[in-house]
């Protein structure tokens, strides 16, 4: 009996901790719908008197937020798909093909993933200028496809290394080429893992900051993260607009989170054990 009673303080402590984690989101949401006068009078902690949406509307128009959303979706989506394809090709050669020297090839990919982007950023900036790709969304897509594929190759190689050999043998006896085995057997069977990677690559690319900040300087090409970060860096915004910006930046993340929560936690578990 006493042990049951002792469990409630733990639950309550955990709930307070969880509350502390989500409170910042709540005050942002509350203040994003206050008018500047209301904010000036009552401060950040009062509940809003009404629903004032002009701050959000003003901010949306001022930074052309729709355009930034399109850019972010386009870049993250393209990177996610391309990086999964590249990872599958690499991992097929390493995990199933068991090519010679695969340990070294794999070590190479792992190291490439751990390199700080700071050690790549200036040459990439310089080379993309030389190639006429500077300030294009394509340049960011190419770079992140490769960076994300490094992690994907690492993870998928160990998954495909344990792929049931009987299935592969059966297909081979039936005369399937390697290309056919890859697309008709390996990819469909590995679909759950590929889904996890797709979600991760999308969100990671969405949240990237340094390289997009350097590569995408014109307003028309910027992503959501870069646009918000640059605005904040300039400290041009008033409180209402700051909150509008924070709310609009948070909403997509919350949507991803709710939609992909299972995939995310499962994916982290997969990544951690391997």
Partner 1 sequence: MTVTVERGARTVGKGPAVRPPRRPGSSYALFLLPGALAFLTVIVVPFLMNTGVSFTDWQGVGSPEWSGLANYRELFDDSEFWASFRHSLFMVVAMAAVPTAIGLVLAAALFDYVGKHFGGKVAAVLRACFYLPQVLPIAVAGIVWSWILAPENGSLNEVLKAVGLSSWQQDWLGDPDIALYSVMGVMVWVQLGFPLVIFMAGLQRVDPQLHEAAELDGAGWWRRFWHITLPQIRPEIYVVLTWCTIAALKVFGAVYVLTKGGPGGATNVPSYFSFTTFFEKTQVGYGAAISTVLTVIILALSLIGLKLQTRAEDAEEGARA
**What whole-number distance in Å separates Cα of residue 221 and Cα of residue 8?**
52
User: Contact 211/225 with Cβ under 8 angstroms?
Assistant: no
User: Any contact of residue 256 with partner 1 (CB under 8 A)?
Assistant: yes
Residue 162 DSSP class: T
Mark the segment that binds partner 1 (CB under 8 A) among 48-56, 61-69, 106-114.
106-114
Mark the segment that binds partner 1 (CB under 8 A) among 54-62, 63-71, 232-240.
232-240
User: Contact 267/159 with Cβ under 8 angstroms?
Assistant: no
Q: What part of residues 45-64 is at the interface with partner 1 (CB under 8 A)?
A: 45
User: Any contact of residue 226 with partner 1 (CB under 8 A)?
Assistant: yes
Q: Least distance in Å: CB of 56 to partner 1? A: 14
Nearest to 145 by CA among 137, 133, 156: 137
**Among 28, 78, 84, 141, interactor with partner 1 by CB under 8 A:** 28
**What whole-number distance in Å separates Cα of residue 30 and Cα of residue 187?**
46
**Angle, vertex CA 61, rays to CA 57 and CA 65, nearest 5:** 100
Tokens for 45, please give them: 């902690």
Decide whether 52 or 106 has the Cβ nearer to partner 1.
106
Q: Least distance in Å: CB of 171 to partner 1? A: 6
Mark the segment that binds partner 1 (CB under 8 A) among 12-20, 49-57, 58-66.
12-20
Q: What part of residues 182-221 is at the interface with partner 1 (CB under 8 A)?
A: 182, 184-185, 188-189, 203, 206-207, 209-210, 213-214
- Measured from the Cβ of residue 271, the count of other Cβ atoms closer than 10 Å reads 14
**Among 69, 73, 89, 133, interactor with partner 1 by CB under 8 A:** 89
CA 29 from centroid of its chain's CA atoms: 23
Spatial neighbors of 227 by CB under 8 A, at least 6 apart, are: 63, 65, 68, 219
User: Any contact of residue 11 with partner 1 (CB under 8 A)?
Assistant: yes
**Among 55, 56, 145, 201, interactor with partner 1 by CB under 8 A:** 145
Taking CB under 8 A as the rule, which mask of x and - marks residues 168-187 in contact with partner 1?
Answer: --xxx-xxxxx-xxx-xx--
Residue that the structure tokens 């930034």 belong to: 68
Decide whether 94 or 197 has the Cβ nearer to partner 1.
94
């Amino acid at each position: 009996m006493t042990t049951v009673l002792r469990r409630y303080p733990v639950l309550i402590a955990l709930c307070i901790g969880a509350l502390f984690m989500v409170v910042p989101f709540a005050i942002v949401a509350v203040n994003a719908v206050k008018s500047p006068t209301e904010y000036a009078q009552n401060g950040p902690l009062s509940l809003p008197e009404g629903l004032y949406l002009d701050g959000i509307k003003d901010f949306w128009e001022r930074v052309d937020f729709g355009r930034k959303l399109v850019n972010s979706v386009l870049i993250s989506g393209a990177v996610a798909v391309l990086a999964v394809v590249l990872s599958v090709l690499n991992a097929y050669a390493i995990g199933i093909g068991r090519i010679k020297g695969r340990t070294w090839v794999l070590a190479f990919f792992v190291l490439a993933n751990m390199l700080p982007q700071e050690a790549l950023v200036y040459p990439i900036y310089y080379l993309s200028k030389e190639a006429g790709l500077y300030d294009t969304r394509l340049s960011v897509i190419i770079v992140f496809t490769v960076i994300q594929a490094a992690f994907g190759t690492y993870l998928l190689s160990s998954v495909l290394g344990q792929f049931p050999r009987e299935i592969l043998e059966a297909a081979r006896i039936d005369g399937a080429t390697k290309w056919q085995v890859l697309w008709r057997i390996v990819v469909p069977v590995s679909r759950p893992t590929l889904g996890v990677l797709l979600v991760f690559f999308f969100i990671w690319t969405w949240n990237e900051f340094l390289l997009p900040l350097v590569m995408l300087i014109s307003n028309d090409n910027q992503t959501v993260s870069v646009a918000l970060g640059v605005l904040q860096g300039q400290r041009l915004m008033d409180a209402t607009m700051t909150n509008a910006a924070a709310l609009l930046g948070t909403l997509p993340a919350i949507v991803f989170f709710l939609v992909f929560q299972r995939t995310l936690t499962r994916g982290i578990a997969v990544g951690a054990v391997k």
